[in-house]
Amino acid sequence: MFSKVKIFLLPAITIFSLLLGVFLKQNYLFLIPLLIGIGKFFESSYEKIKERKFSLDYIALTALLLSLYLKEFLAGGIIGIMYILSSSLEEYGSQKAEKTLKSLKESFPKKCQLKDGSFKNITQIKEGEIIIIKSNEIIPLDGYLLSDFAIINEANLTGESLPKNYRKGDFLKSGLINIGPAIEIEVLGDFNTSYYQKIIKLVEDIKKESSPFIRLAEKVNIPFTIITFLLSALAWIVFKDFQRVLAVLVIATPCPLLIAVPLSFIGGINKSAGKNIIIKKLLTIEILNKMKIILFDKTGTLTLGEVVLKDYQIKGDKDEKEVFKIAGSLESHSIHPLARSLTKIAKEKVDNFYHVEDFEEKIGEGIYGKINNKTYWLKKTKEKVEGIGVDLFEDGKLIARFIFDDILKDDALKVLKDLSKEYKVAIVSGDRKENVLRSLKNITEEENIEIYSDLSPEEKIRIVKEYQKKGIVGIVGDGINDAPALAVSDVGIVFSGTENSASIEAADIVLLSHELEKIKEVIEISKNSFKIAKESLFLGVGLSCLGMIFAFLGFIPPVYGAIIQEIIDLFVILNSLRSTF
């Protein structure tokens, strides 16, 4: 609330000063918005020039300075207010998105537990210290595993959807997720040398190198500015009348350029927010509208990002319920993530489980136990299957096979097909090629979608840059390994989560749900907002040009010119507000 008040405090002060001046008939009060407008211009111009952006609001500055010189303070005050208000609108649009994202960005752990039970900031932990990582926690620092084993979810870094077993002495990268029991890690290096921090640094470097995008308003501004100054110069050459020159400049002051586009885009941002889509910056709407290529990560983006039971086969003479009751009875004692998935399904099929005797679990080998004096064994299938196969044996005889996999989201096929009709679509995944092909073979065969697999973050950057030679590129991802590619792309779209703060930082759009249909929604919202912005822009510029002609001919003095410009602005604002609905 305070930040919103701060943003609109300056416009409120200038409007109040102008109204008070009108009420008290004190001309000097109009100087307040005029001078603040001039100050705001130089402040914003300085920031733009630092970024090597030279498309400034020269008409507004000329009109403000000439108003000051001719002591037409009312006309200058009105121009100043509109200039200040447009800047505040754009700042408001960006800050609203940043506030929504703040908690998501801060999700990466700031502290972790040491072996003695105390907690320490991860930036202060030194090489050789031993840290404790509990189940479902992110590993914050690189190090060697001291525990006998660990079950790790690597999807966040590599795109590999299936959990991986680690043994004592194995190296663990920061950013991985421990999905097994609590583990001990001996830290290697420190926070600044960690893998996660290297990814963050890569994102920051890419952001610094990003080239500026030419905005719609800037494209219109150049010819409009030339026409305005030519007509103003002609007014002086022909009539030698500064009042006519000022009248032309006042009507030409590009308030439609200053207000139409940001207001339309803010409407689009607000509409998106209502659909759990956060667009960080106004410019993103414009770039998204011109996008030609969309790249998709696989794990967690097109797929669920977690291993689930995809299929099962009954091999013996036992019925389905009995097989699931036996399997569920064994798996309910296991710590493995596959066990949790199978136990959940078993509970849906049977009312209770058997009592298991002599239960034993050997990581990487399987689980054993006795039920009603029979020995049962669940272990990984030796035969090649599409996913992870787990076989159930009874006294050495195979009685069932369960197949697990990371499966496509329900709407993945439809979304990819729909988007491929209008955009060039490709898959860029860190997962192994066989996993990518298994998940996406039906889509790629039908839609001629290119596949890139086994990619590191640096390789994803290279592919994005290659596609950028062909057009504006958007990329959709969800893991830490996607963050650099999200940063280097023209539009980065990320699915929110608790472990991907680097990706959220790098992205331009954050989807607060996991529905792929949201991508189509944000594209449609952006197209609609951009269309309305163009309508408002050309409506305002067209009416301004008409007014400039009458001002040039001497029919409109500066003050009335400023009032006419505000009437034009009203039409522009009302039309721009349509993007909210």
Opening angle at CA 433, ends 432 and 434, nearest 5 = 95
The larger pLDDT score, comparing residue 113 to residue 440, is at 113
| CA distances (Å), origin 335, targets 122, 238, 305 | 28, 89, 19
- The whole-angstrom separation of Cα 500 and Cα 191 is 17
Instruction: Output the pLDDT for position 214.
Output: 47
Q: φ and ψ at 490, to 5 degrees?
A: -75, -35
Report how far residue 59's alpha carbon sits from residue 51's, in angstroms, rounded to the nearest whole number: 21
Q: How confident is the model at residue 92 (pLDDT cuts 50, 70, 90)?
A: low
For residues 561 and 58, the model is more confident at 561
Residue found by looking up tokens 């790629």 in the block: 444
- Identify each DSSP E strand in 10-142 by its residue range: 111-114, 119-121, 130-133, 137-138
Distance CA 348, CA 155 (A): 28
- Identify how many contiguous H helices and E strands the chain contains and give both numbers: 19, 23
Burial string for 378-391 (b: 16+ CB within 10 Å, else e) reads bbeeeeebebbbbb
Q: Mean pLDDT throughout 68-83?
A: 85
Residue 323 predicted with pLDDT over 50: yes
Whether 472 shows a pLDDT value over 90: the answer reads yes
> What mean pLDDT, rounded, does the chain reach?
82
pLDDT tens profile 487-503: 889 999 988 754 556 67
Please say whether the dihedral angle defined by the alpha carbons of residues 268, 576, 37 and 16, taken in this order, is positive or negative. negative
Q: Please state the rounded mean pLDDT for residues 258-263.
A: 72
For the chain, list the domains and their CATH numbers.
Answer: 2-104+207-282+523-580 (no CATH), 283-304+409-522 (3.40.50.1000), 308-405 (3.40.1110.10)
- Packed helices 242-252 and 73-105: angle between N→C axes, nearest 10 degrees: 20
- Enter the pTM of the model: 0.71
For residue 69, the SS3 value is helix
**Beta-strand pair 171-172/143-145:** antiparallel
Whole-number Cα distances in Å, 224 to 236, 304, 561? 19, 50, 17
CA pair distance 529, 540, nearest whole angstrom: 16
pLDDT value of residue 211:
46
Cα–Cα distances (Å) from 432 to 190, 298, 429, 454, in that order, read 30, 11, 8, 5
CB atoms within 10 A of CB 101: 18
Average pLDDT score over residue span 524-531 = 92
| Residue 427 phi, psi (nearest 5) | -105, 130
Tokens standing for residue 163: 């959990």
pLDDT of 445:
59
pLDDT at res. 104? 45
| Predicted local confidence at residue 364, as pLDDT | 65
Q: pLDDT higher for 306 or 124?
A: 124
Record the tokens describing residue 299, joined without a space: 């794990």
Higher pLDDT, 337 or 183: 183
Cβ count near 134 (within 10 Å): 11
Identify the weakest region by mean pLDDT among 243-257, 325-339, 417-431, 450-464. Answer: 243-257
Tokens for 175? 């950013």
DSSP state of 333: T
384-398 pLDDT, tens digit each: 887 788 999 999 899
Task: Please give the C-alpha separations between residue 269 and each of 59, 227, 356, 536, in angstroms, as whole numbers.
Answer: 29, 33, 56, 17
Average pLDDT over residues 80-96: 69
For every residue of 341-410, DSSP letters joined together read HHHHHHHHH-S-----EEEEEETTTEEEEEETTEEEEEEE-SS--SSEEEEEEETTEEEEEEEEE-PBPT
CA distances (Å), origin 542, targets 164, 220, 251, 533 = 63, 11, 11, 14
Tokens found for residue 245? 């020159």
The residue that leads in pLDDT, 28 or 103, is 28
How many angstroms separate the CA atoms of 568 and 544, rounded? 7
Query: Regarding beta strands 491-495 and 509-511, do their DSSP bridges make them parallel or antiparallel, or are they unpaired?
Result: parallel
pLDDT-derived band at 325, boundaries 50, 70, 90: very high
Rounded to the nearest 5 degrees, what angle is found at the Cα of 349, between the Cα atoms of 348 and 353?
95
Using one digit for the tens of pLDDT, what is the confidence trace for 398-417? 999 999 887 888 888 889 88
136-145, 301-310, 542-551: least confidently modelled range: 301-310
Place of tokens 């930036």: 123
Determine the residue type at 508: D
Tens-place pLDDT, residues 95-147: 554 554 454 445 567 888 898 888 999 889 998 999 999 988 888 899 999 99
pLDDT at 210 over 50: no
What pLDDT was estimated at residue 550?
93
User: 276 versus 48: which is more confidently predicted?
Assistant: 276
CA dihedral (296, 298, 300, 306) in degrees, to 10, reads 170
CA nearest neighbour of 299 among 435, 426, 179? 435
Count Cα atoms within 13 angstroms, Cβ side, for 87.
25
Paired sense of beta strands 293-296 and 164-167, if any: unpaired
